[in-house]
């Protein structure tokens, strides 16, 4: 497997993880980068680089980010965002993984891209649920800001340095796993 293919896989998985934080932010970043010629998307996904797609992704991003700042709407959006994040992760991965056999591409997109986006979305939904239960939703805007910033940062990092983006995703999951393991020990000893 060539270095170019490995980089495209890292790029796709980094973008998929970013879709788990916010669905439209990575697509806005992808569309902007492709529109400006910094990102190559697979031929069937060239529409991502179009001006209408850029406008739609921009509007959708603003609506999505704004909606997550409304206390009752943010938890409701998580029910819709979970399956949508999986689909977005699949599309994001498939759109940038190029020069591979279609079976490998779509298997990777569905299992790794969709799975990664779904895993990140599950963690963010859980964090928002804990925030709602412990603060009555008062801390939810902080969670939302973290998620939007993480999505933007990870999407930009995936395009600029795909390997580092995938490394950041691995570090994120290790930190979450260690935190949850520590919390489980605290609860069991209490």
Determine whether 91 is exposed, middle or buried from the number of CB atoms within 10 Å of its CB (0-12, 13-18, 19+): buried
Q: Is the pLDDT of residue 79 over 80?
A: yes
* C-alpha distances out from residue 68 to 27, 76, 103, 105, Å: 18, 9, 36, 32
pTM for the model: 0.92
Angstrom distance (rounded) from CA 185 to CA 113? 31
List the chain domain ranges: 3-189
* pLDDT confidence of residue 190: 67
* pLDDT confidence of residue 109: 97
* pLDDT confidence of residue 9: 95
pLDDT tens digits, 10-52? 999 999 999 999 999 999 999 999 999 999 999 899 999 999 9
Angstrom distance (rounded) from CA 92 to CA 114? 9
Find out whether 33 and 3 touch, Cβ atoms under 8 Å. no
Q: How confident is the model at residue 129 (pLDDT cuts 50, 70, 90)?
A: confident
């Amino acid at each position: 497997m060539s270095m170019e293919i490995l980089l495209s896989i890292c790029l796709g998985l980094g973008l998929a993880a970013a879709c788990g934080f916010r669905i439209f932010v990575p697509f806005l970043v992808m569309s902007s980068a492709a529109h400006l010629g910094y990102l190559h998307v697979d031929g069937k996904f060239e529409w991502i680089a179009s001006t209408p797609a850029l406008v739609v992704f921009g509007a959708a991003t603003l609506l999505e980010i704004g909606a997550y700042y409304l206390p009752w709407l943010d938890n409701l959006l998580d029910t819709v965002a979970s399956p949508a994040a999986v689909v977005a992760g699949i599309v994001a991965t498939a759109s940038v993984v190029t020069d591979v056999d279609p079976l490998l591409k779509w298997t990777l997109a569905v299992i790794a891209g969709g799975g990664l986006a779904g895993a990140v979305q599950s963690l963010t939904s859980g964090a928002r649920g804990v925030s709602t239960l412990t603060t009555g939703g008062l801390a939810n805007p902080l969670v939302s800001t973290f998620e939007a910033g993480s999505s933007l940062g990870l999407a930009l990092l995936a395009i600029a340095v795909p390997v580092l983006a995938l490394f950041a995703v691995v570090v994120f999951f290790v930190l979450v796993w260690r935190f949850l393991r520590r919390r489980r020990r605290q609860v069991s000893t209490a």
